[in-house]
Amino acid sequence: MVKVLNTIHEDYHMHSMNYSDGMNSIDEIVQYAGKIWLKKITITDHSQFAEDQSGFAKKNRRSSINRWKNIYNDVEVSFGVEGDLIDEEGNCCFDIQGKEPEFCILSCHNEVYTWDLKNITQAYINAIHKYHDKIKFIGHMCNLSTAEHLDVEAVAKVLNQYQIPIELNCSYLNTQRMYFDKMDKLLSLIEAWVYVNSDMHTLNDFNLRQEWFDYIKEKGFME
Ligand SMILES: [Zn+2]
Ligand SMILES: [Zn+2]
């Protein structure tokens, strides 16, 4: 049975305009998070490699976040990185401007991962063997743009070996950019846990999170 590691009051995947392609500043995100009763958030902007490939600019120096404090409300705010799977050997980028946080998501983006997606299973397996100590969870697996050839059984085996959680990504669910059959299969195979996250790029994305909680309950995957 899938165990969900966060409640509706926690969200660990979101993007700001300060450090990647979100439409809101960190300050706006935090103020809105307080309004909708979030208690704990991690802002996880894209890795430096993703910026270099995709061309969106980081507006601020990463070192400036050490000076940032939540002056608005009691929401607990931390900063991570949505890291990128880079190649078939499983090399990844987890830094922003050379700085790596403690909180790293491992994701695969088709505009960033330019190798043959037919070998994506081996790429994930190699990356997980290499970086399992660093990876908090795997972001949006089974998405339409990268997972056509993903062998969920093989990946589940290595996720189980290291007890690495996967993410149920509300943005991909809401836009139907997922192989739902693959995700259902993965959910039935993993022994570890899942996070339900917004992957918000606009403030309204926060409001769509409930759907994933409903989905997994409906499917009988949740206790
Ligand atoms: Zn992503
Ligand atoms: Zn993201």
**155 CA distance to ligand 2 middle (Å):** 21
Sign, CA dihedral 146-148-212-192, equals negative
52 assigned to some structural domain: yes
Average pLDDT (215-221) is: 80
Residue 28 pLDDT exceeds 70: yes
Report yes or no on 139 lying in a domain: yes
Q: Is 118 inside any structural domain? A: yes
Q: Looking at the domain assignment, is residue 63 inside a domain?
A: yes
223 belongs to a structural domain: no
| Domain region containing 127 | 3-218
Would you say residue 158 lies in a domain? yes
Is 187 a member of any domain?
Answer: yes
> What residues sit around ligand 1, an ion, with C-beta below 5 angstroms?
107
- pLDDT, tens digit, 9 for 90 and up, residues 50-93: 999 988 889 999 999 999 999 999 999 999 999 999 999 999 99
Rounded to the nearest 5°, which phi and psi values hold at 178?
Answer: -145, 150
Cα–ligand 1 centroid distance for 211 (angstroms): 19
Contacts of 81 (CB under 8 A, 6+ apart): 44, 45, 46, 47, 94, 95, 96, 100, 101, 103, 104, 105
Among all bound ligands, the one having the nearest atom to the CA of 21 is 2
Does residue 223 carry a pLDDT above 70? no
If one counts the domains in the chain, the total is 1
Q: Give the distance (Å) from ligand 1 centre to CA of residue 209.
A: 16
In a domain, residue 45? The reply is yes
Closest ligand to the CA of 54 = 1
Q: What is the pLDDT of residues 143-189, one digit of tens each?
A: 999 999 999 999 999 999 999 999 999 999 888 999 999 999 999 99
Q: What is the pTM of this model?
A: 0.95
CATH number, position 30: 3.20.20.140
